[in-house]
Structure 1
């Protein structure tokens, strides 16, 4: 399995893209602005999207992906998400007001987009690749994902604050190699992190102290302009772990 980082920041600016990962060449995990760097040919190869949650920086390009690919494909784009996420997208995005409802267009029998509900802990297997939703805690319902090749696993936290069940789930993964985890706010912004359900370095350290295995630690979703200060706080808090600032374009094989 191969993960390509198309977007990994908590906001957008020049050369910064919001969250989107490409698994091999046919699956996306989230559909933030990073998806906009794909060529039309690359978009047409994407059959499946897994969403962590409904916030715009993680779903903004989904309707446009459907718009480009839909008329050129014989099969719909399959989107896996929590039932709550699907309900939000159908009400607030695919509603004929913000965007056409491609779950019924061009016809209910042959739409451009098909939603499939996921459940925490229930694995979806696609061509031998196992994708399992893991528990997180955020301002809206959300999940993390374990991407398991059999040989090793790559976990992407999605958006989350400290959540003990998430760290327990990590400890149960025997082949965990990569942990891509958010750290949005500086430690001084306790109120902002609490209100929005995001991680601070101190909360990240609390979780890492529970982790029972070595991992390659990849930091994502930092606020634009605060990356260096956030990484400095993470370096101080991470103990034996060696956190890496994730970069757009990085590729991980496992």
Structure 2
């Protein structure tokens, strides 16, 4: 499997600042932030599945535009996966005919442009020999991480989370984990804000990584614009057994 970074920033501010969106092979999106905007029409048309970690705008903002753009030219609906709480939020606050039309009912409920599928934490979806499993995460809204399994290797994307022992336990149970994409939104100067907003900062990340018994490559995502350099410098002081590096747009992780 190939995991292509379309966007991994914690905010906007120029062409390179694209929010969370990752293309798996050519038909799966993990989160659907502004990074999706770099795909051309033919690439958008190939997307069949969208897995959402949580319902914050920087992770779901381009779902409405994606479905609106390609829905009429597809033979089957795009499937949007998430926890029951995440899907409830999307239905109530986005696809509610006020913010955006309900594309799960357009052109009608028997032939919609989009469908929702609840994926409980711990459950998996098998897609042409690939397996995607929802893992526990802890954020200010109901959230999930995802484990992507090619059959030969695994990648875990935490989405937005703070230090969360159930997630750490789930990571440690993966037998062939090659890549861990983990957020670190704030520098330690903003430790209080990180705690209040249930994000990681370098000191919390250090505790997170120290609790891991596996040895994946660690990639840092969701850095806040204007603070990325400082945050990565603080992460660089970490003296543990893992050596985190900053995730970059257009980077491709294979596993």
TM category (shorter chain) comes to over 0.9
Aligned to 1:150: 151
Q: 181-190 vs 231-240, which deviates more?
A: 231-240
1:117-196 to 2 correspondences below 5 Å: 117-196=118-197
Aligned to 1:84: 85
Aligned to 1:3: 3
User: Shift of the alpha carbon at 1:240?
Assistant: 2.5
Distance 1:125 1:13 in 2: 37
Distance 1:238 1:127 in 2: 40
Q: 1:178 touches 1:217 (CA, 8 Å); kept in 2?
A: yes
Distance 2:80 2:8 in 1: 20
Residue 117 (structure 2) pairs with residue 116 (structure 1): yes
Residue 216 (structure 2) pairs with residue 225 (structure 1): no
SS at match of 2:220: strand
User: Shift of the alpha carbon at 1:191?
Assistant: 2.1
Q: 1:20 touches 1:29 (CA, 8 Å); kept in 2?
A: yes
1:198-217 to 2 correspondences below 5 Å: 198-217=199-218
Distance 2:150 2:158 in 1: 17
Unmatched segments (≥5 aa) in structure 1: none
Aligned to 1:106: 107
SS at match of 2:188: coil
Unmatched segments (≥5 aa) in structure 2: none
Q: 1:208 touches 1:238 (CA, 8 Å); kept in 2?
A: no
Q: CA RMSD in A?
A: 0.8
Post-superposition Cα deviations, 1:176-214, rounded to whole Å, max 9, x if no partner, equal: 010000000111212211221100111111111111121
Aligned to 2:238: 237
TM-score by length of structure 2 reads: 0.98
Paired residues in the alignment total 254
Post-superposition Cα deviations, 1:195-251, rounded to whole Å, max 9, x if no partner, equal: 211001111111111111211010000100111100011111252211111100001
SS at match of 2:85: helix
Post-superposition Cα deviations, 1:76-118, rounded to whole Å, max 9, x if no partner, equal: 0001111100110111100111111101111111111100001
TM-score by length of structure 1 reads: 0.98
Aligned to 1:33: 34
> Are residues 150 and 238 of structure 1, via their aligned partners in 2, closer, same or farther at CA, if it must alter by over 3 Å?
farther
Distance 1:22 1:87 in 2: 24
Q: 1:120 touches 1:133 (CA, 8 Å); kept in 2?
A: yes
SS at match of 1:185: coil
Q: 1:79 touches 1:116 (CA, 8 Å); kept in 2?
A: yes
Distance 1:238 1:89 in 2: 41
Post-superposition Cα deviations, 1:26-74, rounded to whole Å, max 9, x if no partner, equal: 0000000000111110000000000000000000000000001101111
Aligned to 2:62: 61
Distance 2:121 2:76 in 1: 27
